[in-house]
Structure 1
């Protein structure tokens, strides 16, 4: 019996994450028939998830349970068991609970996710004793299952334990080895019971195949360091491969999930450069966090599963969109070396005055950026000391502290995802505007293979060449394809004209093309995603214009903006006046 329990705080962005968690639990492919999961509660089989979260909007926390009965596959329907389990919890805790649940059949073990509001029936904070979480819930579940199915026979227990011997995950055998191994990680197979000894030796032999144990002879074995963590990783990889199988099957994609590549945050793969490909799926990494994963049909012919960090750090991505994924690296910044240099010349302390005294060409604003970085490192690592006067003591280990800070940030946002096209590859060969295919024809940058999505990409490039020749935007010399001099610019203008026609109908405004040298002023209406890139729609009076988007515009939709349109970009001012530009 397994009952995993955790709680999450709902303060700040916690409610938003909790809503996303509930949506994740209802995702497609989790029922026996591969359909979306359905929430239920004490009163019915179709619970109102939005209403549940509205009631929980001011709650301090939320409890999340994953309940997996060892013989859960013997239940035709898990809902009655879940309701009786929750009734027992209410009796034990002495309060009525507000909860919703969803059953999942997408792994080898049917299980139920239960979400409980963090308040009791009187609206007071719900508290659950530690021992009840660690043992009480499991005991209650086991009693209910035993009542339903009877006690497990010795034969059933033996079969389950034999099956665990060969599993590439952390098993009950491994937990027993963890408890029994010596400080130097040695194990002696001296179990009196021949059957138990055979299971133990069998598991150790399997661990040796995994490179996690060594046979020293005479019944003595040595386990690898952190072998349990490695087994957990193997188990997680196995679950990921299974989820990849399911998603590929749902989409009818002929790809080998076993050859897929798993990219975990902060774990750099030797061959991992930038990845190009098609979005198969984006979703929550698990039910307990707001971390997301991206499943990518790579141009290298392989499927990639990528931990892309917290949802708020990455823009939404539609299935079949084309993207480039860059993997970030944790590195010490030049500012950190500057801080060390300034502190070395100032008795080990850093502040703005010390910086300006050390480098008289520096400005106070520049030095303040270093102070803000020190404050951020102090909050994250709790290892940087600040005096009452505001100066920071810079220890000899400061660069290590700065690197630890960068590694922590890397866990939050381990990738940069660059959109290449919001529309599918199949529509690009005849798209009237500029596309990723055109940029590759002008300046090839993507190594491709002739299998999987790589083959589809190569076919699309050939189809695009034919279309460009027909449109007289490219030509052939001695059988060699050549692009026209102004091909990309011509296509970009065509794409903007086509998009503007649609936007004119939607907005009732008139499109005014922008040219270099124009001052762009007005209300930032929206961002527009085209295969040629992302654009800002700026409204002024009864007209609008489209200009290339810049990251500074994020979070400013609806505000007044102004800037001079130059070939290298626009130095935007946000607000009513023509005040200070924001790069």
Structure 2
């Protein structure tokens, strides 16, 4: 019979804001999870294929002992979206030149073929929700003449462990001191359903399987190999296995006594503690008691990374034939509040983390120092010798965010282009669309704000805090702003018949200060450029001083633009039409055209073409009809039949 404690389960109406089970689970996770009857919390770690195998292999790996061959397997799950351009870029980079033992291009292979078709692999993966990426690195990888058989046996074993066929491709790299393989695995099973692999198998199972195979191939490690590896750890300036054992035995105050019945282990620990003492990370007290620094592990890991950076920097400079003393090496830390922009020529680029597609740049600066800069996940391509400015990316709330928050506060938390134009009649539709693009970027990044079915945005009261969180997240992905100052190398600039970075330096009210090294080379190039400008009657030299024509930069720009226009007319047979004022610019967007250090968009219409300012977002419209009206330095575009409102300047 019904009682006072009866209740009705109400699932909520369709379309309600709080309808998501995912939102409820997220709140539970933020509250610390939900404990089961056994007292254990549900974490989701056991969801997916390979749960039991992963746990068993994890235990066996911990009990395998010192003689087992070691291997590193790094696993990453990458969410795919759009056209899979990031996956294509990653695959291209893995197959770059110089990764084989012979210095040739990396060869993509699969389970049954030595030459796999990367394009076909990406096409098969169109529509996949996610993708797995692995790095397989046996400690004794140099002993293998070819890593393909090892990787194929590993992936074959993974198919048995997971109970499904796997679609994968791999590339072997021998361009570092540790040969390794990159594996890209589609995130679907043999029935084309999402492939979910349990965390235990990704973090422990694959590594254990790799170590089993390497131990079978090369046999267990000999006593001499084990001792040599341990001896190398004593003096290394990085976090080692000995450090890990010391931390395990230290008490809560990071104090320990070196007590072991194994004379060799005792010698290893004491030797390592002496090294840590020299580094200021350990101190010896009375009666043989040692105290470890609370920041021992993160400090040693940073030291290891710095050592890798120094080696990378030295190698890049040596390859470029640039001699710079070690004291002129610098690490550009964009997170440092005191960091200032650096200007210089690009010496080299590469992957600082091949697993996460994080990249670095080596910049030979005008300040006389050679800089290593982490540029995050920036996938842009820059030619060596290009002159760049790198600046820390500020994590600030933008004016566009404040505008959206202000408008939404007056319209019940709603924002749309129509609402914006109603609120501010002076705003152009293109300007309002820029606000929408900002909201869309935030939604993809942090999941807020919510876009309703009619295209209106539901903006929360914490919108400014959300905007700051989005900026901070973007700062982690791309921590620096990269500005191209000159597409041409310094050697090409003194006699170039067009506007150059040197000209802008010569006419600047406060030119960039030049020090030694590359700065001295720029100083010499500036002198050569002054002489060339005088010869071209664009400047006059009087009593050691140089006077430049007032419109010198515009004249140089016009010279180069006229040459480019003439070249396009000759190649295409089209006539150039100069856009003016309120005259519409209409036609097909063909391509970007480089004119000096600026880019223009080539718009073709009938038997004519126009060159107008370009922005990267226009690349989405290659071959499509576009139309816009020049308004000063900007254009409000319509692409196809949908108004984009692209602000081009």
What range describes the TM-score normalised by the shorter chain of this pair?
A: 0.7 to 0.9
CA distance in 2 between partners of 1:164 and 1:537 (Å): 60
CA distance in 2 between partners of 1:189 and 1:548 (Å): 70
Paired residues for 1:63-462 under 5 Å: 63-255=132-324, 259-263=328-332, 267-268=335-336, 270=338, 272-311=339-378, 315-332=380-397, 352=411, 364=423, 403-443=468-508, 444-451=510-517, 453-462=518-527
> Which 10-residue stretch deviates more, 98-107 or 510-519?
510-519
Structure 1 residue 441: Cα displacement: 0.9
Distance 1:49 1:226, change over 3 A: farther
CA distance in 1 between partners of 2:447 and 2:616 (Å): 31
CA distance in 2 between partners of 1:255 and 1:534 (Å): 34
Q: TM-score, normalised by structure 1?
A: 0.82
1:439-493 deviations in whole A, cap 9, x for unaligned?
1111152222231x32332222222122111111111111222222221111111
Distance 1:372 1:564, change over 3 A: closer
- Partner SS, residue 295 of structure 1: strand
Paired residues for 1:37-76 under 5 Å: 37-76=106-145
CA contact (8 A) 1:301 1:450 kept: yes
The answer to whether structure 1 residue 543 and structure 2 residue 608 are counterparts is yes
Distance 1:374 1:490, change over 3 A: closer
The answer to whether structure 1 residue 561 and structure 2 residue 630 are counterparts is no
The answer to whether structure 1 residue 572 and structure 2 residue 636 are counterparts is yes
Distance 1:517 1:561, change over 3 A: closer
CA contact (8 A) 2:361 2:372 kept: yes
Structure 1 residue 378: Cα displacement: 9.2
In structure 2, the partner of 1:529 is 594
In structure 2, the partner of 1:346 is none
CA distance in 1 between partners of 2:503 and 2:434 (Å): 41
Distance 1:401 1:124, change over 3 A: closer
CA contact (8 A) 1:24 1:284 kept: no
In structure 1, runs of 5+ residues without a counterpart are 344-348, 357-361
Distance 1:354 1:171, change over 3 A: closer
CA contact (8 A) 1:522 1:560 kept: yes
Distance 1:518 1:447, change over 3 A: farther
Structure 1 residue 426: Cα displacement: 1.8
> Which 10-residue stretch deviates more, 213-222 or 190-199?
213-222
CA contact (8 A) 1:119 1:126 kept: yes
CA contact (8 A) 2:449 2:458 kept: no
- Partner SS, residue 138 of structure 1: helix
Structure 1 residue 501: Cα displacement: 1.9
Structure 1 residue 495: Cα displacement: 0.8
CA contact (8 A) 1:332 1:402 kept: yes
Distance 1:499 1:368, change over 3 A: closer
CA distance in 2 between partners of 1:486 and 1:571 (Å): 25
Count, aligned residues: 562
Q: TM-score, normalised by structure 2?
A: 0.74
In structure 2, the partner of 1:359 is none
Structure 1 residue 129: Cα displacement: 4.4
CA distance in 2 between partners of 1:379 and 1:500 (Å): 40
Distance 1:108 1:221, change over 3 A: farther
CA distance in 1 between partners of 2:448 and 2:486 (Å): 44
CA RMSD of aligned residues (A): 4.2
CA contact (8 A) 1:421 1:533 kept: no
CA distance in 2 between partners of 1:581 and 1:58 (Å): 29
CA contact (8 A) 2:603 2:611 kept: yes
In structure 2, the partner of 1:487 is 552
